Structure 1
Amino acid sequence: MTPEEQARMVEAILFAATEPLTTAQIAQRLPPGCDPRAALDRLRRHYEGRGVNLVRAGATWAFRTAPDLRHLLTREIVEQRKLSRAGIETLAIVAYHGPVTRTEIEEIRGVSVSKGTLDQLVELGWVRLGRRRPTPGRPATYVTTDAFLDHFGLESAADLPGLADLKASGFLGDPAVQEDLPLPEPEK
């Protein structure tokens, strides 16, 4: 099969998918002998600069509207369920410090974490249980998911803004807080 035919098949699979797919999921649907990675690379190049782009979010692939055209598709909707401040803080801690245990989240936040807060993040699909730590009690860890990366338009956790970026954006308004904030720079 030619590379063009393989790219065409992968294109059809991704367009028909209701959610982003991993390379392995794409490979399962292709005939034997196809190279999904090469087809994805070919498609990614083909869609650069077009109205839709092929994007990777963690281990998954999907077609998304080009960033400069998103305003054409924006529509105002009423958000039925907003994250609480505790939910936002917990999500940020998992994103920047993950994999992280519940105890570590509580140490960073300085208050106990409600089970409902973590349950809500898991229900949204932005956080999942990670590996258990090989320490006494074998505590579970929490990590962000590909759905989190996809929702926030990130290719990997390394794309999260660092402390300098947040300060420059004005998100950290109180200078006293800025000095003591335990926010590591993402690894590149």
Structure 2
Amino acid sequence: MKQNEIVRILEAILMSAEKPMTLNSLMKFFSLEELVTKNAVRDALAEMAGRCDGRGFELRQVASGYRYQTRPEYRDWVSKHWDEKPPRYSRALMEILALIIYRQPTTRAEIEEIRGVAVSSNIIKTLEEREWIRVVGHKEVPGRPAMFGTTPQLLDYFNLSSLDELPALSELKNLDEIYPELAAKADKPENDESDASTGSDDSSRIDASDNV
């Protein structure tokens, strides 16, 4: 099969896909008789990504596979598709998420020890409902507390193929460096942690529409 035909087929598949698709998943669309190799599919994907230069969308490889998506710089316009405001997350929630990202697997008590304040159950619940974190095991200490780790869905949301793309913890000076698009501008009081997310316009909150 010619390269141009492979490109057109993959474009159609990814345009209609509801979620990212891995290289192995894409290979299943081709029969053995078509003699399409993984290298040919990789080359086609690279060509497709190049064709997106200068366009309002891009082909991106995230943790779960390849997907077409709008470019972040156009999120303000794209977000007008939806009447409902996206959820906004507190600075406390993002700090807790950052600790889980960099210290996973970690327990709630370990997070509390580092931050010096109690971790709200609502924050943990919000992160689990977003499928950004999950229980990955239990620490072998009295009470066997749950240990939390991140998920592929978290990587997909932040347009990452792996956690290695984040800055090293030793290089990190503040939370905003983890994902500059979040651009949180104010500190959230610690005693407000019980309110994990809201639709309010509180400037201490981070707008989830930053990744449309």
In the superposition, the TM-score normalised over structure 2's length comes to: 0.61
Identity value in percent: 34
Residue type of the partner of 2:48?
L
- Could you report, residue by residue, the CA deviation over 1:91-129 in whole angstroms, capped at 9, with x for unpaired residues? 121223334333432332334445543332122122233
CA gap of 1:45–1:108, structure 2 versus 1, over 3 A, is same
Which of 133, 139, 164 in structure 2 is aligned with 1:127?
A: 133
Q: Partner of 2:28: helix, strand, or coil? A: helix
> Mapping of 1:160-179 within 5 angstroms?
160=166, 163-164=172-173
- 1:100–1:141 contact (8 Å) kept in structure 2: yes
Which of 92, 95, 99 in structure 1 is aligned with 2:101?
A: 95
Give RMSD over aligned pairs: 3.5
Count of residue pairs brought into register by the alignment: 172
> Mapping of 1:147-162 within 5 angstroms?
147-160=153-166
Which of 44, 47, 55 in structure 1 is aligned with 2:60?
A: 55
Structure 1: stretches of 5+ with no match in the other structure: 175-188
Higher normalized contact order (CA 8 Å, seq sep 6+, divided by chain length): 2
Q: Which residue of the partner structure matches residue 20 of structure 2?
A: 20
Residue type of the partner of 2:140?
P
Which of 140, 145, 148 in structure 2 is aligned with 1:136?
A: 140
In 1, the alpha carbon distance for the partners of 2:47 and 2:7 equals 7
1:74 equivalenced with 2:76 (yes/no): no
Deviation at 1:140, TM superposition (A): 5.1
- 2:60–2:159 contact (8 Å) kept in structure 1: no
In the superposition, the TM-score normalised over structure 1's length comes to: 0.67
Residue type of the partner of 2:61?
R
- 1:101–1:139 contact (8 Å) kept in structure 2: yes
Residue type of the partner of 1:39?
A
